[in-house]
Amino acid sequence: MATTLRTSEADFEERFARFLTTKREVSPDVDAIVRDIIAAVRERGDAALLDYTQKFDRADLGKTGLAVTRADIERAYQEADAATVEALTFARDRILAHHKRQRPADDRYTDSLGVELGSRWTAIEAVGLYVPGGTAAYPSSVLMNAMPAIVAGVPRLVMVVPPSGGTINPLVLVAADLVGVHEIYRVGGAQAVAALAYGTETIRPVAKIVGPGNAYVAAAKRQVFGTVGIDMIAGPSEVLVIADGANDPDWIAADLLAQAEHDSGAQSILITDDAAFADAVEAAVERQIRLLPRAETASASWRDFGAIILVGTLDEALPLADRIAAEHVELAFDGAEKFLQRLTNAGAVFLGRHTPEVIGDYVGGSNHVLPTARSARFSSGLSVLDFMKRTSILKVGPEQLRALAPAAIALAKAEGLDAHARSVAIRLNDG
């Protein structure tokens, strides 16, 4: 049974505030271990990667090599289910089409004083993409993380994936190939992050590392940050479904469970204005949960973090939704568009009764890497912009310099920076 909150109750604000700050993740402190791994990779290079892969993944890179070859990828296509490859290709094409629209425009203009200004976007020169091994190896995540980099024009996109127990999910290799990843290496964990950040004999360093991973990978990304860029550290997934009583309770229950099955730390929240509907959804959840192969995970998530919030009217849901700032928000009621216009904090919004969040996970075309743990208040889902950087441009001639100089010199002097003032003033004697 999930938690139930009612806005009509006197202690609602207190309970809701507590609900918002509930931690859903225990991060083990692996900083010291990770520090040692990074130091070893910096010192011993490929040899350290071989040792750690033997130890953690029980795989012998001496036999397979570190680099995944073209032949390995062809073999993956052979091993993969043809219908799934077709589905991946369909998803790839839709994700490509959407992300092409995110490419930023350069700007260059001359203002009224004759000063030329500009902003120019360029792709990051090399990006590393971490892909987890084992059961967490999701080919859809490879598409979602790699495609924005390719659309950005990143000339060198390097994927690392641990060969857990000696093998890599063939669909992960197929997904990487479908997007156009340039290099793939059989290595995971903190050692892979270290190799991407500092380079080894085989793996040249990159400038930014993205992609999900376990506590070791997250700690390693934090430690190499600065030397390279990193993306957000993702927490457990979450969905907020706002639904009126006109929905089919089974549909909404299915959506809540799709989130809950991800992880015992995942969170599914229903806000509704219909108490009978809430009961029906809760009953449907209990019914459906038993049918799931991942019933144990989904049950733990729903029991520990699931919530049903009963509101007087759906208007009351708006400030609550902004405070929850969920990764995924489904708006399953008439008037969803108007509600969306007033909603501020959400990673992604799914409109209407026929847009389950799962469509966005795979084939909607938008990115499924989205801000978790209330970070939609201040951050965005993964996009092409995450793989580019902006250089600002300034060009001033002698005449413009004379127009700008007095203010620049005044401010430099007010800030006690005489060499700044001098660098402008010295040019004023000219032409």
- Report 215-244 residues binding its own copies (CB under 8 A): 226, 228-229, 233
| Interactions with its own copies, residue window 181-210 (CB under 8 A) | 207-208
Looking at 45, 132, 139, 189, which residue binds its own copies (CB under 8 A)? 139
| Residue 114 binds to its own copies (criterion: CB under 8 A) | no
Q: Is 361 annotated as a binding residue?
A: yes
Q: What's the CA gap between 352 and 355, in Å, rounded?
A: 6
Which CB atom, from 98 or from 182, has the smaller least distance to its own copies? 98
User: Measured from the CB atom, is 15 or 120 closer to its own copies?
Assistant: 120
- C-alpha 209/C-alpha 9 separation (Å) is 47
Minimum distance, C-beta of residue 413 to its own copies, in the bound complex (Å): 8
Binder of its own copies out of 294, 300, 304, 318 (CB under 8 A):
294
Q: How many CA atoms lie within 13 A of 310 on its CB side?
A: 15
- The question of whether 327 is a catalytic residue gets the answer yes
User: Which span sits near its own copies by CB under 8 A: 53-61, 177-185, 187-195, 351-359?
Assistant: 351-359
Helix H or strand E encompassing 159: strand 157-160
What is the token pair recorded at 272? Answer: 């509704």
Residue 415 marked in a binding site: yes
Residues 411/179, Cβ–Cβ less than 8 Å: no
Instruction: List the catalytic residue out of 183, 238, 261, 327.
Output: 327
Which one, 61 or 349, has the nearer CB to its own copies? 349
Q: How does DSSP classify residue 400?
A: H
Closest CA to 218 of 235, 195, 237, 203: 235
Q: Evaluate whether 99 touches 148 at the Cβ level (below 8 Å).
A: yes
318 touches its own copies by CB under 8 A: no
How far apart CA 323 and CA 344 sit, in angstroms, is: 9
Q: Name the residue nearer to its own copies (CB basis): 202 or 288.
A: 288
Cβ at position 51, least distance to its own copies in Å: 25
* Residue 191 in marked binding region: yes
Q: Which stretch binds its own copies (CB under 8 A): 55-63, 67-75, 105-113, 159-167?
A: 105-113
175, 181, 185, 189 alpha-carbon torsion, rounded to 10°: -70
Which residues ranging from 15 to 54 are in contact with its own copies (CB under 8 A)?
Answer: none
- Distance, in Å, from the CA atom of 130 to the CA atom of 214, rounded to the nearest integer, reads 10
DSSP one-letter string for 243-272:
E-TTS-HHHHHHHHHHHHTT-TT-EEEEEE
The verdict on whether residue 8 carries a ligand-binding annotation is no
CB 195 within 8 A of CB 187: yes
Estimate to the nearest angstrom the gap between the alpha carbon of 385 and the chain centroid.
Answer: 13
Residue number, 71 or 112, with CB nearest to its own copies: 112
How far CA 25 is from CA of 28, 173, 348, 372, in Å, comes to: 9, 30, 22, 12
Q: How far is the CB of 143 from its own copies (least distance, A)?
A: 9
> Can residue 415 be called a binding residue for its own copies (CB under 8 A)?
yes
Residue 312 neighbours by CB distance under 10 Å: 11
**Shortest distance, CB of residue 410 to its own copies, whole angstroms?**
4
Scan residues 148-177 and list those touching its own copies (CB under 8 A): 171
- 78 vs 135, which CB is nearer to its own copies? 135
Q: Under rule CB under 8 A, which residues in 374-393 are in contact with its own copies?
A: 375-381, 383, 385, 389-393
Q: Which stretch binds its own copies (CB under 8 A): 31-39, 51-59, 131-139, 269-277?
A: 131-139
The answer to whether the annotation marks 420 as part of a ligand binding site is: yes
Site for its own copies in 257-276 (CB under 8 A): 257-258, 260-262
At residue 26, what is the residue type?
A: V
Q: Select the residue interacting with its own copies from 20, 65, 69, 90 (CB under 8 A).
A: 90
Cβ-based nearer residue to its own copies, 6 or 374: 374
CB of 360 to its own copies, least distance (A): 5
Of the candidates 346, 315, 319, the residue with the CA atom closest to the CA atom of residue 330: 346
262 in a known ligand binding site: yes
Q: Which segments within 311-401 are labelled E, that is strand?
A: 328-332, 348-351, 388-395
* Residues carrying an active site annotation: 327-328
- Residues annotated within the binding site are 130, 191, 214, 237, 259, 262, 328, 361, 415, 420
